[in-house]
Amino acid sequence: MRGSLSNCSSLATSPCAGFSLFSTAATTRPYRFHSQQHKFSTTAFLTGSAHASPRSLFSPAASSTLRSSHSSTGIRVATTRSRSASTMAAANEQAKVDSRLIVISGPSGSGKSTILKKLFAEFPNRFGFSVSHTTRAPRPGEVPGRDYHYTTRDVFASMVADDAFIEHAQYGSNLYGTSLAAIEDVARADRVCILDIEMQGVKQVANNPRLPHRPRFLFLSPPSIAELEKRLRGRGTETEELLQERLKQAEVEMEFARTGGIHDKIVVNDDLERAYKEVRDWIVGEAEAQSEA
């Protein structure tokens, strides 16, 4: 599943787990979105620090130590408070969450959808999924607005002309794109945004001047093309022609992940639980993943 921010003239910042939204546009232009008229700023962009601290800065240990100092001498109080300050500073540092945009890519059939569902289930209030637009038809069980924003080629072309997308690409015979509005939706929910996009989109996001802080890039790879073909045939959703297109594209993507110089992490999904743990630990940090387990 592929990736299955509004006119902010009066809003200086928006709590996007570390991102701020700014708009320098004097006017807005309308575009069609799910049969409703919306507006967006053609020059909206993202700024902000790479870290945010959503949790309390005061650890239980620090609070307990500070309370115990009240019955001590003045020297002990000063010393304990100094240690408490150090403890709180350390807790503050540990509580910092890397809130940069997370870009996950990989061939169709590599297991991105399954792993992302597990991540969102384990951290239900941490991440937000940027829902992409696509011109392909929904698959059985997919829900418009949750899995994708399904649209026509004419509407998609109009959005491209209006500069509505932060990235867009053609994959097979279908078009896909991540709109600024979709990223803003995640920002308003105060969550770290995750994009699930293809190789062309990865290149666009990696070089996008609207993102002053470089996103984090992870590639999820099948163990082999033969195993990927087995998975795709077992899924039963592609024609033979489309299946062969996907296999050829997968070879290109896997080579690009190894040599393109963009991806920070490559995870081979040869075992779902092991691959999920590796993805999770890279995204949230091994220590935090264990503490929340």
Assign 3-class secondary structure to 62-131. Answer: HHHHHHHHHHCCHHHHHHHHHHHHHHHHHHHHHHCEECCCEEEECCCCCCHHHHHHHHHHHCCCCEEECC
pLDDT for 96: 54
**DSSP-derived secondary structure letter, 175:** E
pLDDT for 97: 60
pLDDT for 259: 95
Alpha carbon dihedral 74, 79, 80, 85, in 10-degree steps, equals 130
Q: How far is CA 139 from CA 136, 142, 239, in A?
A: 9, 6, 13
pLDDT for 267: 98
Dist. CA 48–CA 202, nearest whole Å: 21
pLDDT for 129: 86
Dist. CA 32–CA 30, nearest whole Å: 7
Question: What string of DSSP letters covers 130-145?
Answer: -PPEESSPPPTT--BT
Structure tokens given for 59: 């650890």
The domains of the chain, with CATH numbers, are 19-49+99-291 (3.40.50.300), 60-95 (no CATH)
- Give the chain's residues under pLDDT 70: 1-97, 212, 286-293
pLDDT for 24: 33
Please give the model's pTM, rounded to 2 decimal places.
0.64
